[in-house]
Amino acid sequence: MNPDLNPRTGRNAFSETGTAGPPDYSFIGSRINYLKKLIAVKAESLSGKPDGFLKIQTKGNHDYYFQIIRGGSPSCNYLNKTKSDIIHQLAQKGYDRKVLFAAREELKALETFQKQLPDIPAEAVYKYLPDNRKSLIRAVIVPDELFLKQWMDTGFTPKPFSDGALEFYTERDERVRSKSEVILANLLIRKGLPYKYECPLTLKSGGIIHPDFTILDLRRRREIYLEHLGMMDDSYYSESAVDRIALYEENGIFPGDRLILTHETRRHPLNIKAVDRLLDFHFR
């Protein structure tokens, strides 16, 4: 997997490898909705503000404030320190007017652009072809369902279990090494997050480790690794865990980005609600 392929930024969006994700235009609609709300808020904020606009003159190290009112009887009123409330209101009024103008211009441009978008993006053409034709071509971008199938179908040799080891099984009848890993696997299954258990990961040094869970972030088309640190109150285990995290970091895989860490001790068992929130954060 190439972690640099990001459909949201468009980086490598037209890679001939077919590994990048489809274009995501949803941000346009989100931005339009945001601008509409912003325009309403700023239009409302301008009502009830003092007349005119603020002019600031600087002489030496001092600023002098004036209220300029144009119209039938234009005036220029000096505002001393006792008028600080009016000064701030006029300053805010000037800012809000500029924001309102910019937001309206951007909204107009985005709505025009949105109307001009085709019903089918170029990368989605493959999706609407008959199956017998799909098998004959190489798509610019592989659809999500096919990408997921290819990822799941890619075989691997898992880490073997030692003789006599306790047996724990997930909801999909997959053997794991602990009760906590059963809980984690079942949570991934219920959340619809595709994963591989103890799939080998080749490091830059050529060495191999087996992350507890390799999870596919389908939207970003990258792999995220979940490591459960199950005995952090054991000094030998915790030292080993620190070394393992450092190994990930040396290979460009950092906690909070492509590495999820869960943990527990005898006094503090696995907090499944916290893990659920953590997964929602990473796969939002």
| Alpha-carbon distances of 177 from 200, 211, 217, 273, rounded to whole Å | 16, 13, 24, 21
Three-state DSSP class for 198? coil
What local confidence, expressed as pLDDT, does residue 13 receive? 34
> Residue 213 and residue 194: Cα distance in Å, rounded?
10
Beta bridge partners of 62: 59
pLDDT at 20: 53
pLDDT by residue (tens digit) across 125-163?
A: 888 899 899 889 888 888 888 889 999 999 999 899 999
pLDDT of residue 145: 86
Q: What is the pLDDT of residue 22?
A: 62
pTM (2 decimals)?
Answer: 0.65
Is 215 buried (19+), middle (13-18) or exposed (0-12) by CB count in 10 A?
A: buried
Predicted confidence at residue 124, as pLDDT, reads 84
Neighbours of 138 (CB within 10 A): 9
Positions of the chain with pLDDT lower than 50, given as ranges? 1-19
CA–CA gap between residue 120 and residue 127 (Å, rounded): 10
- Class of residue 22 by CB neighbours under 10 A (exposed 0-12, middle 13-18, buried 19+): buried
Instruction: Determine the pLDDT at residue 71.
Output: 78
CA separation for the pair 254, 63 (Å, rounded): 50
Nearest to 52 by CA among 26, 79, 32: 79
Which DSSP letter does residue 216 get? E
* Those residues with Cβ within 8 angstroms of residue 248's Cβ, 6 or more apart along the chain or in another chain: 225, 227, 254, 255, 259
Angle between helices 179-190 and 272-282 in degrees, nearest 10: 40
